Amino acid sequence: MIAMLVEPPAGDHARLRRADISPPAPSCGEILVRAAASGVNRADALQRRGRYRQPALERDDGFLVAGMEVAGIVDDVGDNVEGWSRGDHVMAMCGGSYAELAVVDAALAMRPPAALDQRQAACLPVALMTAYDAVALAGQVRPGQFVLVTGASSVVGLMACQVAQSLGAFPVLGLSRSEHGRAAISATGALALDTRAPLASELGKLDALTDRRRPDLVIDHVGGDVAAQAIACLNLGGRLVSVGRLGGRTLQLDLNELARKRLHLVGTTFRTRGLHAYRLIADDVRRSLLPLVASERVGGQPGERIAPPGIDRLFPLDKANEAIDYTLTRNSPGKVVLDVN
């Protein structure tokens, strides 16, 4: 089968290598997926450079196939797997999705909503699991809490806005530098503000919309100065969950303010987790979020439907490097997808 491999030793200028390798076989508790599409994520660029590993999802094959999420058809089923048969449609977070066949832990596999095609389904696993983990688990959101999402026009940011609303948060506010990014945030039912303006002054503009000026929870996809501003604006007992750090890995923190407001700063990542933790999150997503996923959010109240990410651009499997490069340079709320078959 054709696969895109991470080349050791990886580095800043590393490129994935197209290779023809033997098809994998599912072990106990696993299914083999004939891939139709694979979602492309910013973390794939780090993986290509050897700086992003998910040991819980990697196979000991002597090489590393790139990619983190897949949608397709079940091709084979390992021992002790219930509920899955050959020919079933499936989507999942996994290791090695940049290939014609990918092995998936059966407990991470999800049935795509019937209204979605396989390309749309490939956009969902990482976004759903990352957003749920950040908002519900690390963020411990409660109904009626004010949630602020930084970098909210990214795929995961837009999903975080929708997940927060589905769990009863109000208001939900997303930040974006671009006008089309703010339009995408507004389409989820969340409020949208411009990141380029000082956050404290922008929050003051909400008086006409809500009497809640200080967020109870911040889901931060940016880091750096944006995270510092968000921390300063948190409510008493507020919580900031650090998901991404594209705007900087460091910030200045007033520890007196941290203590006075009894704030909670939480970091989250999948990289250091065991497979059991992945399974628990996947189970929560299946139960809490998948029933809400529709082809688009039309009508009703915010939180009643979760729209999948729009597709920005499709690339063939052997153009995975170009797809990753495009993901790093684009300025669009949509998702980049590899069209595998």
What integer is the mean pLDDT of 21-35? 97
Confidence of residue 332 (pLDDT cuts 50, 70, 90): confident
Average pLDDT, the chain: 93
Residue 58 has pLDDT above 70, yes or no: yes
pLDDT in the model for residue 333: 83
pLDDT in the model for residue 18: 98
| Half-sphere exposure (Cβ direction) of 132: Cα atoms closer than 13 Å | 21
Amino acid found at 5 = L
pLDDT digits (tens, 9 = 90+) for 114-150: 989 999 999 999 999 999 999 999 999 999 999 999 9
**130-14-11 Cα angle (round to 5):** 85
pLDDT in the model for residue 336: 97
What integer is the mean pLDDT of 30-44? 97
Peptide bond into 9 cis (omega under 30): yes
Confidence of residue 325 (pLDDT cuts 50, 70, 90): very high
Residue 198 has pLDDT above 90, yes or no: no
User: What is the set of domains in the chain, with CATH numbers?
Assistant: 2-124+310-339 (3.90.180.10), 128-267 (3.40.50.720)
Residue 199 has pLDDT above 70, yes or no: yes
d(Cα 225, Cα 325) in Å, to the nearest integer?
A: 26
What integer is the mean pLDDT of 262-277? 97
Residue 248 has pLDDT above 80, yes or no: yes
pLDDT digits (tens, 9 = 90+) for 279-317: 999 999 999 999 999 766 555 677 889 999 999 999 999
Strand ranges across the sheet with 147-149: 191-194, 172-176, 147-149, 217-220, 239-242, 264-267
Q: What is the pTM of this model?
A: 0.94
Which token pair is 65? 């196939």
What integer is the mean pLDDT of 52-81? 95
Q: Does residue 48 contact residue 66 with C-beta atoms inside 8 Å?
A: yes
Question: Which residues are CB-neighbours of 243 under 8 A, at least 6 positions away?
Answer: 130, 134, 156, 160, 219, 220, 221, 268
What integer is the mean pLDDT of 181-186? 95
Q: Is 55 exposed, middle or buried (0-12, 13-18, 19+ CB in 10 A)?
A: exposed
